């Protein structure tokens, strides 16, 4: 909790039995997208603070933070973090559930092989797999639950909602 003047400012972050949510006020900088973050793109909001942190050794490499978070979650057997813009804030959610070890179906393998850096919508997945939109959404949801895919979008009704793999590209 931070204080501003005489009153406390409570940031809506929290620790829950199944996850940790960290929220930061403000949206991403213009032109920066959530897929950009997963790809390692970095833009400084305050160059002076960035320079000072780099000189003090608090920053190892620009743009490596999200990739390192994904790698650490994967090494621990947990789902990768979910990053979303919600009501003027950026939220990062770390889920505690272990990634499932079930075998991948041929449909899962096909989808994972085709998910590129830009990801795809559920409609694109349905066309690719030759299945209904509902079947594609269920397939993608199962991959999200297993931590193999992350959802990028501001809400379940976001028309630009995309699915991106968390697996390293080969």
pLDDT along the chain (170 residues), means of 10: 48 73 90 86 86 86 83 81 88 76 76 80 90 89 82 77 74
Structure tokens at 148: 């193999």
List, as own/partner pairs, every contact residues 136-139 make where C-beta atoms lie below 8 angstroms and the sequence separation is at least 24, other chains included. Answer: 139/107, 139/108, 139/111
What pLDDT sits at residue 57?
Answer: 86
What pLDDT sits at residue 146?
Answer: 78
Whole-angstrom distance, CA of residue 47 vs CA of residue 50: 5
Helix, strand or coil, per DSSP, at residue 143:
helix
List domains and CATH numbers for the chain. Answer: 2-165 (3.30.565)
Straight-line distance from the first to the last Cα atom of the chain, in angstroms, rounded to the nearest whole number: 43
Whole-angstrom distance, CA of residue 11 vs CA of residue 23: 7
What pLDDT sits at residue 169?
Answer: 58
């Amino acid at each position: 909790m931070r204080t501003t003047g005489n009153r406390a400012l409570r940031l809506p972050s929290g620790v829950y039995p199944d996850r940790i949510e960290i929220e930061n006020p403000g949206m991403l900088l213009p032109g920066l997208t959530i897929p950009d973050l997963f790809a390692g793109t970095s833009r400084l909001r305050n160059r002076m603070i960035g320079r000072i942190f780099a000189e003090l050794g608090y920053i190892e490499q620009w743009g490596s933070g999200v990739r390192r978070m994904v790698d650490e979650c994967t090494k621990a057997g947990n789902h990768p973090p979910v990053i979303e813009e919600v009501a003027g804030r950026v939220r990062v959610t770390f889920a505690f559930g272990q990634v499932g070890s079930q075998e991948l179906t041929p449909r899962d393998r096909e989808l994972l092989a085709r998910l590129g850096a830009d990801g795809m919508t559920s409609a694109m997945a349905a066309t690719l797999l030759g299945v209904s939109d509902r079947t594609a959404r269920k397939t993608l949801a199962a991959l999200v639950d297993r931590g193999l895919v992350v959802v990028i979008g501001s809400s379940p009704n976001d028309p630009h909602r995309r699915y991106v793999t968390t697996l390293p590209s080969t």
